[in-house]
Amino acid sequence: MIDNKKFNFNLIFSYAQFFVTSVFPIFVMIHASNVLSVSVWGEILLLQSFSLFSSILIVFGTEVYGLREISKSISDESKISKIINQVFFLRIVNFFIFFSIFFLLVPLLNIPVDLFLIILIWAFSLIISPLWIYTALGKLNSFFYIELFIKTIAIVIIYLNVLGDTDNDLLVLILIGVNYFISISSLINIRKNICLDNHPIGSLKEIYTETTPFFLIQFCANIFTSFPILIVGYTLGSAQAAIFGNAERLFRMFRSLYSPINRIVLKFSSYQKIDNNIKMKEFMFAGFLGILVFFLGAIFISFFVEIILGEKYIDSISIALILISAIPFIFAGNQILHSYIYPSNNELFFMKTLLWLTPLNIISLFSLSYFIGSHGTALSMFVAELALFIAFFSFIKTKFRNT
């Protein structure tokens, strides 16, 4: 692993930020699962998932692009401001394009206007998040304190005021409001790095060219993560979406244990020389860590669902166990991606891999969901993660053999 004090400092606060980000939805899930009906909680999860999926279209890969480019220009403040300006300008342009297309589709798809507005407002709160800036600048400690304070207050408000199905709108409002308070507060905190005076209209084509590979990667990757619950909701209804959604949230909590390492590894690997022997040790470490997390996660989930969520969510256990079986492959694959593929500018390989794997995954998701239900959706997600890991491992074996 990278031996660097700054790396360790950033990693500590990256995990602290991850802890807050992961624990908040778990606390919300616990309370909502107990006070709301299964179908109402499922409807909220579907709204949230659709908003997240929409934000992926709008962000258009700028998070990874911005993080990598700022890390390369960490001592050049004017270049950093230019990159931040480009990223946010592109996101705003994409938001208005998305808004216009979605607005035209509302009457055609018979989407209620209130749901249309909620999705747009929720998606916008996600695209203005400056977490990627804090990661690139090595200021995650500041973001952590802001997020911890706001989400702690939100949890208290939710537990005291959301008491039944009639409070579902209040819960949605709080969840959206949390995103806005965190984003706006953290943007104000780094306002000296943000200069939106000059709009980079002339360079939009160049920025789209740079971010397209990252967008296709993130879009296809979200077919593996946030899209399945939408399929479950569409094919099986909101109640099954809640059962699957709770299982997926628990899986995501364990899956995301490696995310803080991903961010910091990408930041430091972007400007350090790649040593194949060290990289191979890192890949093996990630895999062994994934095996450990799988066993611990299986034990935790079994007790958590039965004791905390109760009988009506008992099917979430078996769904979650199928999902976390993929964690060793996910950890090793993420380490390969963020410490080798991205830093060595091989994202086109990742993009091409996802482009042929994603259609197969979509077919598998719909088919298995229809025939086996939520368990089939989980099985499809496992197979997709395994296939992606095999593709990554074959790629680095070939690369290492040729160097």
Of residues 377 and 217, more confidence is placed in 377
Query: d(Cα 378, Cα 401) in Å, to the nearest integer?
Result: 35
Of residues 376 and 141, more confidence is placed in 376
Q: What is the pLDDT of residues 160-217, one digit of tens each?
A: 999 999 999 999 999 999 999 999 999 998 887 776 656 667 677 888 888 888 888 7
Q: Is the pLDDT of residue 118 over 50?
A: yes
Q: How confident is the model at residue 312 (pLDDT cuts 50, 70, 90)?
A: very high
- For 387-400, give the DSSP string: HHHHHHHHHHHHHH
In the block, which residue shows the tokens 């490696």?
Answer: 258
What's the one-letter identity of residue 57? L
Q: Is the pLDDT of residue 44 over 50?
A: yes
Of residues 338 and 151, more confidence is placed in 151
Query: d(Cα 103, Cα 86) in Å, to the nearest integer?
Result: 26
pLDDT at 197: 59
Q: In the chain, what are the domain boundaries?
A: 5-401
Range from 122-131, 154-163, 207-216 carrying the lowest mean pLDDT: 207-216
For the chain, counts of helices (H) and of strands (E): 17, 0
Residue percentage of the chain with pLDDT more than 90: 44
What's the one-letter identity of residue 219? F
pLDDT at 34: 95
Find the mean pLDDT for residues 314-322.
Answer: 96
- 266: which 2 tokens? 């990408």
What 3-state class would DSSP assign to 60? Answer: coil
Q: How confident is the model at residue 1 (pLDDT cuts 50, 70, 90)?
A: very low
Query: d(Cα 240, Cα 230) in Å, to the nearest integer?
Result: 11
pTM of this structure: 0.84
End-to-end CA distance of the chain: 20
What 3-state class would DSSP assign to 183? Answer: helix
Q: Closest by alpha carbon to 11, among 280, 257, 270?
A: 257
Q: Average pLDDT over the chain, rounded to whole?
A: 86
